[in-house]
Amino acid sequence: MKPLRMRASKSLLFVTLALMASTALAAPKKGAPPPSKGTPSKGKGGSTPAPAGGSGAAGGEVEMDGGDSGAKPKAGGGAGSGAGGGSAGGGEIEMDDEQNKAPTDLAADLAASDAQQAAAAKQGPTVKTPLSWKDIVVVIRKPFLKVRRTELNPFVGTSMNDNMVRSYSMGGELAYYLTDVLAIGIEGNYYQHVFNEPFDLVARQARRLPTVNQYNWSGALDFHYVPVYGKFAVLDHRLITWEAFFVAGIGAGQSEVIPRDTKFPGFTNFLIQPNVGAGMRFFLAKWVTLNFGIRDYVFYDHFEPVDRSTTMNASAADAAAHADGALINNIMFQIGVSFWLPTSFEYTTFR
């Protein structure tokens, strides 16, 4: 009886180990369908252990499904099958819609953009202008040209340095510009005078009348030179173009002696008058400018003799022959408006 008990013990131990291994392999995951029952195989001890390697319907296979998360499979998805199953279960990983889109082509997008711009450009008229180095603008053109134009400048003026007699002038100048900076012109002035307050004060306080002359007219041949040109903004709204110029010329004029005693006649003097001056010109339009300037007319004048009486230098000829002379600077401030002919101009040089 001893060998039989040992055999029975070994058979029982073998069956127990086989059942434990079968249970571990055949235990399904939570939520998985129960394994299908196969044909039991009789073993020793009457137990029916599950086979170690199941078929496609074996319950011991690990399946990918959504059982753990509690999500239901999508419509159309079948139940999970074994390792050899052909249908997709609810636990399959699906791709997003953005990943399923076709990738964009950069070259195609650029070509479409160029085609759109070309279509927009063709809608309007296209003018082709030949380009050259002449079209490169470095400094803008002057907005006013004077070359081969004539300036007609009426003006008025007043003396600045004679405290006895104030002289007022009305005159005009006609100038032709050979270039944009050089011009030649002629001018004429007609004068009127008034006595200043010191004239009466000297007569009352010193008991004698001062010796003075008045100016009747003058004319000159002038030369103009324009070395300075510029512009400035008025209240950041409008640009005003201006230029500075110098004037020099030679001319003639006439002065007249104002007798201290009205019973004696006066006399006139013919004067050689060189002149120099400077001024500024502001351009209001292509044919109108506003001018300001100072002119110094230099000449040698003759005055009534101080010892004139009924017995000496009574006549105008005698008084002129014995007249006292002095070098005079007649400084005049002038303001005028110039009109330019022709009224328009054309650019003939490159920009």
Tokens of 50: 């599950």
142 and 351 in contact (C-beta within 8 Å)?
A: no
Q: Angle 325-328-330 (CA atoms, 0-180°, nearest 5)?
A: 150
Task: Reply yes or no on whether the pLDDT at 24 is more than 70.
Answer: no
Task: Reply yes or no on whether the pLDDT at 47 is more than 70.
Answer: no
Instruction: Please give the pLDDT value at position 43.
Output: 43
Task: Reply yes or no on whether the pLDDT at 255 is more than 90.
Answer: yes
**CA dihedral for 272, 278, 280, 281, sign (positive or negative):** positive
Tokens of 26: 């055949």
What residues contact 15, with CB distance under 8 A and at least 6 apart? Answer: 43, 44, 45, 47, 49
Q: How confident is the model at residue 33 (pLDDT cuts 50, 70, 90)?
A: low
pLDDT tens for 221-235 read 999 999 999 988 888
Total-model pTM: 0.60
Identify which of 198, 201, 244, 205 has the alpha carbon closest to the alpha carbon of residue 225.
244
DSSP, residue by residue, 178-210: SSSSEEEEEEEEEEEEEE-HHHHHHHHHHSSPP
Instruction: Please give the pLDDT value at position 280.
Output: 97
Instruction: Please give the pLDDT value at position 45.
Output: 43
Identify which of 151, 139, 86, 156 has the alpha carbon closest to the alpha carbon of residue 287.
151
The whole-angstrom separation of Cα 138 and Cα 330 is 45
Q: Which domains are seen in the chain, by residue range?
A: 150-341 (2.40.160.20)
Identify which of 303, 309, 308 has the alpha carbon closest to the alpha carbon of residue 324.
303
What mean pLDDT is predicted for residues 181-194?
97
Q: Where are the beta strands (DSSP E) in the chain?
A: 150-159, 165-177, 182-195, 212-234, 238-258, 268-283, 288-303, 324-341
Q: How confident is the model at residue 116 (pLDDT cuts 50, 70, 90)?
A: confident
Tabulate helix, strand, coil % of the chain (nearest 5): 20, 40, 45
pLDDT tens for 303-351 read 999 888 888 999 999 999 999 999 999 999 999 999 999 998 888 766 5
Task: Reply yes or no on whether the pLDDT at 186 is more than 60.
Answer: yes
Instruction: Please give the pLDDT value at position 219.
Output: 97
Beta bridge pairs of residue 295: 277, 332
The β-bridge relationship of strands 288-303 and 150-159 is unpaired
